[in-house]
Amino acid sequence: MAEEHLGLNVALTQLKLAAKKLQLDNGMYKMLSLPKRSINVSVDIRMDNGSVGVFNGIRVQHWDARGPFKGGIRYAQGLTQDEVTALAMLMTWKCAIVDVPFGGAKGGICIDAKKMSTHELERLTRRYISLIFEYLGPHRDIPAPDMYTDAQTMAWIMDTYSQLKGYRVPESATGKPVEIGGSWGRNEATGRGVIHCVKQAAHDKGLKLKNASVAIQGFGNVGYHAAEAAYNEGLKVVAVSDSTGGIYCPDGINPSEVLAHKEQTQTVQNCLGCKNITNQELLELPCDVLIPAALENQITCKNADKIRAKMVAEAANGPTTPDADKALYEKNICLIPDILANSGGVTVSYFEWVQNLTQEQWPLEVVNSKLETKMTKAFNDVVKLAKIEGSDMRTGALMLGVGRVANAIKTLGLWP
């Protein structure tokens, strides 16, 4: 992979661009380019076979000038300090763009979660949280689900934190099951948020959404719920894919039927009435909306000229490389950047945190209404700034997020 496409290098390049356009001084740029705190721990657990497993755990806290640190915990092979640092930085801008009172953090453990039992994952999670406990808390750092972690993981985290505190603290983690303080609508929030942005972009560009064709790369939690939200809004989902490949049906597919097929066969491929395609072929399909919801670096200088969508909405983190960004902008393809498009998850995490603090539980329709209001305002804020700057939406989003964080730091001043 080219050096310039590595996560931290891209994040720092984006920060430098925003800082230059915002005319931030060099001191502020240096402050924002480094996390406030990076924590590395050795997570040692007893495996099911009686052996001792030793795993590397990381938590990076970027900036908390606008509120407590907030960010997911992922379990992934090959997880690196640089990757986590880049994601924590992007979380800082994301929270500022959608205007929720959080700073950015990210964490994880370098493991292959698919090869571990549920009992091993529970012991691993509880051990990891016990090791970073003093840096966590509802007013300090609030974990959430990410790659290969879920509501059950968050339940273990909340319970571990609560046991160590000596009383129940549901607001110590978000993305929990509803029965122990989770919010209705949290599981599907990121996917729904992507489609809210697509709706706003369509309105802005004069594109009719009814029966507009949508291709979605990735059929995990975010990809599936984006497909479901698009289908419910009257868009025509013509293609989806997972790690095994994809399917294409110009007449449209029902996401729930594809999900049932995937649960039965472990793949979306070979779905009745659909043509099997590769993930690469999905990206190059003729469609109105392309939603990359899988891995980073999927749209590059090698295939940017083959993208035929009118709009790209980044549900994944970093699916488009900087050189491809430029190519799509020159082709007049509307690109909704990840730090805006996939901010629905942290938005509803904020709603969950508020509900826990106030000991309330809002109905699903209230959560969804508040989510749409937040996403719509954030989208319009980004578009307004991008138009003033004569830039693409990613530049506008970065300027908005970085600018809000820098202003908060300036207002607070440096202590002591």
Other residues' Cβ atoms within 10 Å of the Cβ of residue 34: 13
| DSSP-assigned beta bridge partners for residue 299 | 320
Query: What is the residue type of 187?
Result: N
Q: How many CB atoms lie within 10 A of CB 28?
A: 17
Give me the phi and psi of 347, to 5 degrees please.
-65, -45
| Neighbour-count burial of 77, counting CB atoms closer than 10 A to its CB (0-12 exposed, 13-18 middle, 19+ buried) | exposed
Instruction: Compute the distance between CA of residue 167 and CA of residue 229 in angstroms, rounded to an integer.
Output: 38
Q: Which helix (H) or strand (E) holds 38?
A: strand 37-46
Question: Which two structure tokens, joined as six digits, stand for 341?
Answer: 């498009």
Marked catalytic residue, from 70, 94, 106, 374: 106
Task: State the DSSP code for 206.
Answer: T
**Calpha distance 151→182 (Å, rounded):** 8
Using the structure block, give the residue that is written with the tokens 């090791």: 131
Handedness of CA 310, 372, 229, 276 (dihedral sign): positive
CA distance 227 to 249: 14
- The residue type of 76 is A
For residues 75 and 145, what is the distance between their CA atoms, to the nearest angstrom?
A: 10
Measured CA to CA, the distance from residue 179 to residue 364 in angstroms comes to 14
CA 304 to chain CA centroid, Å, is 22
Do residues 302 and 320 make contact, with C-beta atoms less than 8 angstroms apart? no
Dist CA 269 CA 413 (whole Å): 55
Yes or no: say if 36 and 64 are a contact pair by the CB < 8 Å rule.
Answer: yes
Of how many residues is the chain composed?
416
> What DSSP string runs through 185-206?
TSTTHHHHHHHHHHHHHHHHHT
Residue 106 a catalytic site member: yes
CB distance 107 to 71 below 8 Å? yes
| Residues with catalytic function | 106
